[in-house]
Amino acid sequence: MTLLALGILAGVLAVAGQGMASGATGDVRGVRFGGDANRTRVVIDLDRSARGEVIESGDNGRLILTLAGVGAGRGVDGAGTGLVRDWRVSSSGTASRVQLGLARTARIERRFLLPPGDGVAHYRYVIDIASTGGAAAAPVRETRRPA
């Protein structure tokens, strides 16, 4: 009987280990926007729960935060809507770095994590931003030097 119990335990541990090795940390699934030039809601769809930390708050025309516990996957970027001119999600160690280029200076009104529910099967990190009225700095272009 003890040999059978050890066999079952080994099987359970093997399956759990495979889940951890196959990216059980989850990734950013996508980024969505709603709103206008005065107020914009940013919704970041996630495979799992995450803890957000603000790095730059938007008063210089750029909002940057990290989401601990989720990866960036292959990384994504695109054009924004409302206050968000453009956006990029990239890897930052074991977290994702979310960078929003703003059309005007802004501040974060609130940010929160929504768990799966009400017909939505994944987590959502929500950021509500409001314009503070100032013109945003010109976007910084990345330049690459030839090798």
pLDDT of residue 24: 44
Task: Note the pLDDT tens digit of each residue in 2-41.
Answer: 554 444 444 444 433 433 333 446 899 999 999 999 999 9
Residue pLDDT, tens place only, 45-87: 999 999 999 999 998 999 999 999 999 988 899 999 999 999 9
User: How far is Cα 98 from Cα 80, in angstroms, rounded to an integer?
Assistant: 13
CB-count burial class (<10 Å; 0-12, 13-18, 19+) for 83: buried
- Delineate the domains of the chain, giving CATH numbers in brackets: 26-134 (2.60.40.3500)
Measured CA to CA, the distance from residue 114 to residue 123 in angstroms comes to 6
